[in-house]
């Protein structure tokens, strides 16, 4: 069973990483409107908070930098990478759905 600590720093690291990932994504793929921006930001934030820890550990192990990074850096990196991935995934799905909707309708 996972230990969901009550340490506020634990949750702040995840939220900060997820927010940074969503903000970084704005540079590369702008949303088409405020509704899309809010949906993608919220999804990136939630996904980064939930999956940031495991993703950070996986990335650190795959890159071979586990001994060079602190637990906070691993958490921030994982949360940001999950957030960026969620942001891009939703953007891609939204654009494909819009294109397929026009072709069939």
pLDDT 10s digits, 5-23: 667 777 788 888 888 887 7
Residue 72, C-beta contacts closer than 8 angstroms, at least 6 positions apart: 9, 13
Residue 81, C-beta contacts closer than 8 angstroms, at least 6 positions apart: 21, 55, 56, 59
Instruction: Read off the pTM.
Output: 0.74
Structure tokens at 29: 């793929």
Q: Summarize pLDDT for 80-100 with one digit per residue, the tens.
A: 899 888 888 887 888 888 888
Phi-psi region of 30 (alpha: psi -120 to 50; beta: other; left: phi over 0): beta
SS3 label, residue 43:
helix
Report the pLDDT value the prediction gives residue 68, as an integer from 0 to 100.
93
Q: Summarize pLDDT for 50-63 with one digit per residue, the tens.
A: 898 899 999 999 99
């Amino acid at each position: 069973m996972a230990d969901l600590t009550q340490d506020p720093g634990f949750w702040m690291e995840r939220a900060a990483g997820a927010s940074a990932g969503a903000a970084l994504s704005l540079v590369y793929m702008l949303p088409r409107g405020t509704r899309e921006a809010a949906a993608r930001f919220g999804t990136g934030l939630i996904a980064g908070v939930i999956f940031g820890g495991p993703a950070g550990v996986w990335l650190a192990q795959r890159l071979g930098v586990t001994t060079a990074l602190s637990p906070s850096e691993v958490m921030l990196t994982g949360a940001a990478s999950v957030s960026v991935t969620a942001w891009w995934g939703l953007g891609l799905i939204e654009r494909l759905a819009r294109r397929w909707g026009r072709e069939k309708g």
